[in-house]
């Protein structure tokens, strides 16, 4: 039996995933988490064969959460389950320590295959994203602006794109307002934005707002 820690802040998603895994027969959700702090707490409390992780939970999340898990020498496989169907999001997830990536708009059979393969110690990339991962850069002479961002800048970019204020982000990430403002200024400059509206519009157009 594959023991799964299911981390997603949407109750409907968790309920649907649990029903699917119950039908599978060889996979069991043994704990749930709705934010990064609960993920870390659960990992200290029991053993899992896989973390099924949403990238957009409240508090520490995404690549920051994956990196923190790895810094604690926790080697349990991490399979990202996300709405983001953008190749750069996949690259960032793998670079931070994820073992697999699958989008939420896939068929149930794909998720089951991803869980089994990742739990067995292999890597899994969403079939819908493989071509973009392999050929995306070759087909374009220029990188999308968000690929110029550091992981921290990209994380803050996504939070801003969700409409969160500097103060909200500082509280969520447990960093100072000044630090958030500095990152925001840098990412706005890198992406040549002059307003939050441009930032939000870019995020929606590029599928970066989950």
pLDDT of residue 192: 87
Is 71 a residue whose pLDDT tops 80? yes
150 vs 110, more confident: 110
pTM of full prediction above 0.85: no
**Mean predicted confidence (pLDDT) in 124-149:** 72
**DSSP secondary structure string, the chain?**
-EEEEEE-S-HHHHHHHHHHHHHHSSEEEEEEESSHHHHHHHHHHS--SEEEE-S--SSS-HHHHHHHHHHTT----EEEEES---HHHHHHHHHHT-SEEEETTS-HHHHHHHHHHHHTT--EE-TTTHHHHHHTTTT-SS--GGGGS-HHHHHHHHHHHTT--HHHHHHHHT--HHHHHHHHHHHHHHTT--SHHHHHHHHHHTT---
Q: Please check the confidence at residue 139 and state whether its pLDDT lies above 60.
A: no
Is the confidence at residue 22, as pLDDT, over 70? yes
Report the distance separating Cα 200 and Cα 208, nearest Å. 9
| Structure confidence by residue, pLDDT tens digits, 147-171 | 888 888 888 998 999 899 999 999 9
The pLDDT assigned to 38 comes to 95
CB atoms within 10 A of CB 114: 26
Closest CA to 181 of 196, 169, 197: 169
The pLDDT tens digits of the residues spanning 29-70 come to 999 999 999 999 999 999 999 999 998 888 788 888 999 999
Number of Cβ within 10 Å of residue 76's Cβ equals 15
pLDDT at 135: 64
| Residue 159 near residue 187, CB atoms below 8 Å | no
Segment 68-80 shows an average pLDDT of 92
The answer to whether residue 112 scores a pLDDT higher than 50 is: yes
> Chain centroid to CA 175: how far?
20
């Amino acid at each position: 039996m594959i023991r799964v820690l299911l981390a997603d802040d949407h109750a409907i998603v968790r309920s649907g995933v649990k029903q699917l895994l119950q039908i599978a027969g060889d996979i069991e959700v043994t704990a749930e988490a709705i934010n990064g702090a609960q993920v870390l707490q659960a990992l200290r409390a029991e053993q899992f064969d896989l973390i099924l992780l949403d990238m957009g939970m409240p508090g520490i999340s995404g690549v920051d959460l994956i990196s923190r898990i790895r810094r604690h020498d926790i080697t349990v496989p991490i399979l990202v389950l996300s709405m983001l169907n953008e190749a750069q999001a996949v690259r960032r997830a793998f670079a931070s320590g994820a073992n697999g990536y699958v989008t939420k708009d896939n068929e149930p059979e794909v998720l089951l295959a991803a869980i089994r393969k990742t739990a067995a110690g292999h890597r899994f990339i969403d079939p819908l994203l493989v071509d973009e991962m392999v050929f995306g850069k070759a087909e374009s002479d220029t990188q999308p602006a968000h690929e110029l961002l550091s992981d921290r800048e990209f994380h803050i970019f996504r939070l801003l794109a969700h409409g969160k204020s500097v103060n909200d982000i500082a509280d969520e990430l447990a960093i100072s307002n000044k630090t958030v403002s500095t990152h925001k200024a840098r990412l706005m400059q890198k992406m040549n934005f002059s307003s939050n509206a441009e930032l939000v519009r870019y995020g929606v157009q590029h599928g970066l707002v989950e």
